Structure 1
Amino acid sequence: MFTSPANMQSMEKLLAEIGKRQSFLITSHARPDGDAIGSSLALMHLLDGMGKDVAVCFADPVPDIYAAIPGVERIRHDLPAENVECAILMECDCIARSGYTALPADCTINIDHHLSGREYATYNWIDSEAPAVGAMVFDMAQVSGQPITPAMATCVYTALVTDTGSFLYSTTTADTFAIAAKLLYAGADSYAVTQAVFFSTPRSKMRLLARALTRMEIRGEVAWSWVTEQDLVELEATVEDCEGIVNYLIGMAGICAAAFLREQPGGQEFRISLRSRRAVDVSRVAQEFAGGGHRNASGGSIDGPLDVAIERLTTRLQRACDDALRPTA
């Protein structure tokens, strides 16, 4: 176990509530990533083992790189026609973040690890120290006494390796590697996950990355770039191809904060992805732009036009860098 007494209490309470019910809906945030998909499917496998009825619903499609995760074929987009006894939301700070306006359940459970997490559900478990929500599911499985199957272990490993940036982010601790080791002992197919997630880049994404890097700009400790709707059309790229581009910007020497902007349909709004080095907290910046996330990896939205959006965002990021790097008295 890799959890505090407070988290143990939260887990035991959630498991007790789960034990009282039979039918469940699991969902996560729109534009699902590795942790959203991996943790949701891992929880599905856990509830399956308990003999529960489980539906997993995502508002948006699953990216192709996650198509081989065990159980992914059970993910659907339409919500159950009848009420279920409980809806479980993984790493969402509100129901709307799932992409659904409402969920067919009177009881809701919120499991999250973001600094911007909020207690909006019937039952809430938020652990901002967890490296991934998948790791929280791993702890739940251990407390429940259910066996950690190879399928469940592969799902949790997917969540862990993606949300830690291949164990590079500051949320990575000795416990993170200990969890990974336990997952491998349980039969997680780490090679299959690595090949699918990191070595299956489509050509369209490489072309889009090249376009974004030609637009890269730097001011002080802040780097940024952007792509437009026209870029996606011209390069036959998708929104999915934009994932991870910001990591190339923060990877440069001397850069403490980075932003990647993607134009939304209509050109009046941009989705933003933010990254930073350890001391610079971009989660606070993201919260000012209708978003949130982790200290060093967050996202949100900002109104256009592009030049105004860039000036507002980069000025705020530079201030975050200045605040973090200012010598203390």
Structure 2
Amino acid sequence: MKNHQLIEIGNVLKKYSSFAIFSHANADGDAFGSMLGLGMTLKLLGKKVSYFLPEPVPKVYAFLKDYNLINVAPLNHNDVGILLDSSDIGRIDQLSTHFKSFDVTINIDHHETNDYFATYNYTDKDAPSTTCIILKLIEDAQLPINSDISNALYVGLLTDTGSFHYANTTRNAFLTATKLVKYGADPSSMAKKIFEEETLAHLKLIGIALERMNLRNKIAFSYVTYTDMKSLNASEEDAEGIINLVRKYKDADVAILFKEVGNKVIRVSLRSKRKNINVQDIAVLFNGGGHAAASGCTLHGDLHEAMEQLLSKAEIMLKDANKNK
């Protein structure tokens, strides 16, 4: 059934002439990789393609081909709207109105909580990344692929698996990586671009977060304040990735980073280090989402009050998980 759905989407891609491709706010590597990878494939078919992300658009993936075309074209004048790596339309903020205006829509995703909101839907919660699904679509529908497309898809896989060490690093992840290298992806170059070219503000924020790190009932947590951000002239993007260092605490089962990115606006990153602990359950309580091992949400209000509220919920969840070991 699933293969049939993917072939059906492939036929839609071949039938229509122009496409607007969207992905979620605070776009990560999988959002960029799936969006640009599929877009470049469609362009090789002679299709017209436009890319759209909610502002601000992170600069960390500016090395990917077609990055400079994001949010450049007009929002209308396309036949089909495609939303990638998003469990619901609300993930694209104000762009949701434009997505709903298309008569034909496509939804491709790997989040368990997907709403099946499009004309054509394909979701696979077991896929390590949405880019894995895009590669399967390319192969099953016999669509073109080159090294630029392969690099974009590889970036999505690399980042969503945490450099191939999260719980979603399955056999499929390695098989997909092998195929992408065969098609021209350059793993060394992509890893260097993502992990070895950090801003000074990011490095200083790491120091601040690590200095504040604490452990509470097997939950490692830390925070950076809006004052920290302003003093370093740091962007929200500069606070990305710090959660991966908090996660390294050997005595922790869960890692949480609170990032106060605006006046009483707090982005929260959650990571699980045990298969029986699903941090998505915490994120959903605060209108967030993601995956069992990696999720996020946004809180509003006083930073320390918000921290206490979420940490209390996390402690309850962790206690329940320990009972059910």
TM-score > 0.5 by shorter chain:
yes
Equivalent position SS for 1:105: coil
Q: Which amino acid is 1:325 matched to? A: N
> 1:151-300 counterparts in 2 under 5 A?
151-267=148-264, 269-277=265-273, 278-300=275-297
Determine the C-alpha separation between the residues in 2 that align with 1:124 and 1:327.
34
Determine the C-alpha separation between the residues in 1 that align with 2:290 and 2:38.
21
2:46 to 29, 47, 51: 51
Structure 1: gaps spanning 5 or more residues: 1-5
Checking the alignment, whether the CA contact within 8 Å between 1:285 and 1:316 is kept in structure 2 is yes
Q: 1:44 to 1:327 in 2, by over 3 A?
A: closer
Determine the C-alpha separation between the residues in 1 that align with 2:304 and 2:64.
40
Over the aligned positions, Cα root-mean-square deviation in angstroms equals 1.6
Determine the C-alpha separation between the residues in 1 that align with 2:119 and 2:152.
26
Counterpart in 2 of 1:97? 91
Structure 1: 4+ residue segments shifted above 6 A: none
Q: Which amino acid is 2:106 matched to? A: I
Q: Aligned residues: percent identity?
A: 34
Determine the C-alpha separation between the residues in 1 that align with 2:261 and 2:9.
38
2:141 to 124, 141, 144: 144
Determine the C-alpha separation between the residues in 1 that align with 2:311 and 2:73.
39
Q: Which amino acid is 2:185 matched to? A: A
Counterpart in 2 of 1:63? 58
Determine the C-alpha separation between the residues in 1 that align with 2:88 and 2:213.
33
Equivalent position SS for 1:191: helix
Structure 2: gaps spanning 5 or more residues: none
TM-superposed CA distance for 1:78, in Å, is 5.8
Determine the C-alpha separation between the residues in 2 that align with 1:319 and 1:13.
44
Instruction: State the number of aligned residues.
Output: 321
TM-superposed CA distance for 1:77, in Å, is 5.1
Which whole-Å deviations, capped at 9, do the CAs of 1:269-292 have from their partners, x for residues lacking one?
Answer: 321111111221011111111110
TM-superposed CA distance for 1:98, in Å, is 1.3
Q: 1:319 to 1:76 in 2, by over 3 A?
A: same
Q: 1:22 to 1:202 in 2, by over 3 A?
A: same
Determine the C-alpha separation between the residues in 2 that align with 1:98 and 1:30.
6
TM-superposed CA distance for 1:318, in Å, is 1.6
TM-superposed CA distance for 1:102, in Å, is 1.3
Q: TM-score, normalised by structure 2?
A: 0.94
